[in-house]
Structure 1
Amino acid sequence: MPITNICPKKWPELAFESLKDTLATVQLWTQIVGKIRLIKTPWINHSWHVTLYVSPRGLTTGSIPYVDGNFQIDFDFVAHELLIIASNGKTEKLNLYPRTVASFYAELFKKLDAMGIEAKIYAKPNELDPAIPFAQDEVHKSYDAVQMNLYWQALVNINSVFVKFRSEFTGKCSPVHLFWGAFDLAVTRFSGREAPLHPGGAPNMPDRVMQEAYSHEVSSAGFWGGSEQFPHPAFYAYCYPTPADFGEQVVEPSEAFYSNEMGEFFLLYEVVQRSENPAAKLLQFLRSTYIAAAKTGNWDSHLQCDLTGYEK
């Protein structure tokens, strides 16, 4: 399948300064929803049971088991509402607007109670510092509907390319999913070999969770909205453990660069967005950074699918 058919050539412009306050609030909303999925779902390796997925309207938990069947929680960034649906026919919704995390948290659990869904979560953020309890967070209250819709449109396009990239690998590979801890969309390939014990160290995250997540060798790529320290939406790629010569590898496209401080390759979203063929540009980055990880980490070559017939 030609990569030009993966997603539209026109990708939305994203500006960190316009997005940052909305993303900070929405990330906390997704942490609340993600923790509901976490507590109601059996543990899946590498915390794959906690993530959200890109949907045709926003983000979704997918089906979650509970005593009356299944339920699902969807962020709709078109109609700007949160929808809770259950297999017994019950539904509830919350409106998304500039509202505090405390307000969102209180109304969501009120709606769940009305549907007979019991979920007792650890009600503080993970991987964030400070970790203000959700019920007390009156600080984060931004929601720019236009900016959030643009960000979701970008996620739709990125998700399609990540799924394509995932299809090229025959070994163990994660779903394409959004981790609400760092609010990044990611896909991870595994060599099949165990890895050295991870040191942990993420803020407000038990080391044992990080150690299980990185129990085996990985090559991971993703998309992240940026931070005050790095105010650019960007794609990243890293491996664990990290070979000494990983960062010295030549990767594509030419605009990609390696951060010694972070131990990762980066490619700014704007480079992809402004290119003539964004999907092709992004696939260059995903494929070449994986090759860098596989080459320096001595991964088995049979794990890579034959790309003959694919547009480069």
Structure 2
Amino acid sequence: MVTTKTGRGAEAWPRLRVADWTETRDTLHMWTQIVGKVRLAHAPLLNHWWQVTLYVSPRGLTTSTIPYDAGAFDMEFDFIDHTLRLRTSEGGARSIGLESMPVADFHARVLRALDELDVPTTIQGHPNEVEPAIPFAEDFQHHTYDPHAAYLFWRQLLHANRALGEFRSYFVGKVSPVHLFWGAMDLACTRFSGRGSPRHPGGAPNCGDWVMEEGYSRELSSCGFWPGGGDEGAFYAYAYPEPDGFADSPVTPAEAFYSQENGQFLLPYEAVRTAADPDRTLSGFLHTTYEAAAVRGGWDRTSLEEDPARWSGHR
């Protein structure tokens, strides 16, 4: 695979038009929901459902370690070799090739592999936050897997994960990991003011309102990347509850805008990809949208923010 190199030997931010991989994206979305629900079935609840997410890895997306009885296991989408790998602390391993197949077949193969590894698992049998929510065992509609598109999507996530991780380092208050929520298939990082929030009204399709109540139980400022919302996906930022004046706050870069339909700021991915300095451009969006939430919301920024380079002189 020929790639373009830029800066520090890293690949250029890849171009991937949503219209060119929608069928693969939607299939992969269902596959990540199945794997995410396996983690949900075994991991204890963490605030805001942090125990259910996936993480960007050097080869794809991973569950990280999942507890099971006295041991543990993990699952990883490898978008280089195009394989779903399952491993246990007892030395067991299975793999499922990532190729075009119905969601129903993928669902059956995952549960069978877990059974073979002595990790029998029952998951909720339908997806969340999508409409319609076709039961996994009956989903023959989603079946496309383009390995090159999946690889490019992972490269998008790899860049976004790095940028979000650097942004996260400026905050010393309660802040989430950079993680992928498989409900909407978005990579997210969320900062919290330390105060409670009003009860969330819910309303996500095929998802209990109580799920959103837990997710938004504290005042927050969230940002991330979603493979939709633009020609090549979009970065987003929102606040809950949204403070007065938030939508009218000045943010950078010039391509960023507040979407009344989505209730959040959006920055087209292509505006970042084509910028002279993509990381700096995205950093400006992340910092200015957070400042809009923190300033308008009256956050105690002195106690919540810190310079991540504060000890660099001692290293």
> Under a length normalisation based on structure 2, what TM-score does the superposition of the two structures give?
0.93
1:246 aligns with 2:240: no
Aligned partner of 1:45 in structure 2 is 47
Which structure 1 residue ranges, 4+ long, deviate > 2 Å from structure 2? Answer: 4-9, 306-309
Aligned partner of 2:306 in structure 1 is 305
1:210 aligns with 2:199: no
What 5-or-longer segments of structure 1 have no aligned partner?
none
Q: Deviation string for 1:212-253 (max 9, x for gaps)?
A: 1101100000100016xx554000000000123100000011
Contact 2:169/2:308, CA 8 A, preserved across alignment: no
The residue matched to 1:226 in structure 2 has which SS? coil
Q: Distance in 1 between matches of 2:232 and 2:98?
A: 25
Aligned partner of 2:161 in structure 1 is 159
Contact 1:78/1:149, CA 8 A, preserved across alignment: yes
Cα deviation for residue 119 of structure 1 reads 1.1
Q: Distance in 2 between matches of 1:105 and 1:298?
A: 46
Q: How does 1:79-118 map to 2 (within 5 A)?
A: 79-118=81-120
Contact 2:38/2:123, CA 8 A, preserved across alignment: yes
Cα deviation for residue 192 of structure 1 reads 0.3
Aligned partner of 1:198 in structure 2 is 200
Cα deviation for residue 156 of structure 1 reads 0.6
Aligned partner of 2:130 in structure 1 is 128
Contact 1:237/1:265, CA 8 A, preserved across alignment: yes
Cα deviation for residue 305 of structure 1 reads 1.7
Worse overlay, 299-308 or 71-80: 299-308
Q: How does 1:224-263 map to 2 (within 5 A)?
A: 224-226=226-228, 230-263=230-263
Q: Distance in 2 between matches of 1:170 and 1:255?
A: 29
Q: Distance in 2 between matches of 1:74 and 1:121?
A: 18
Aligned partner of 2:283 in structure 1 is 283
The residue matched to 1:48 in structure 2 has which SS? helix
Q: Deviation string for 1:49-92 (max 9, x for gaps)?
A: 00000000000000001125110000000000100001100000
Contact 1:6/1:279, CA 8 A, preserved across alignment: no
Contact 1:68/1:88, CA 8 A, preserved across alignment: no
What 5-or-longer segments of structure 2 have no aligned partner?
1-5, 311-315
> Under a length normalisation based on structure 1, what TM-score does the superposition of the two structures give?
0.94
Q: Distance in 2 between matches of 1:34 and 1:144?
A: 21
Q: Which residue, out of 216, 219, 222, partners 1:220?
A: 222
Q: Which has the higher contact order (CA 8 A, sep 6+)?
A: 1
Q: Distance in 2 between matches of 1:63 and 1:245?
A: 42
Q: How many residues align?
A: 304
Percent sequence identity over matched residues? 49
Q: Distance in 2 between matches of 1:36 and 1:81?
A: 17
Contact 1:7/1:157, CA 8 A, preserved across alignment: no
Over the residues paired in the alignment, what is the CA RMSD in angstroms?
A: 1.6
Contact 1:131/1:204, CA 8 A, preserved across alignment: yes
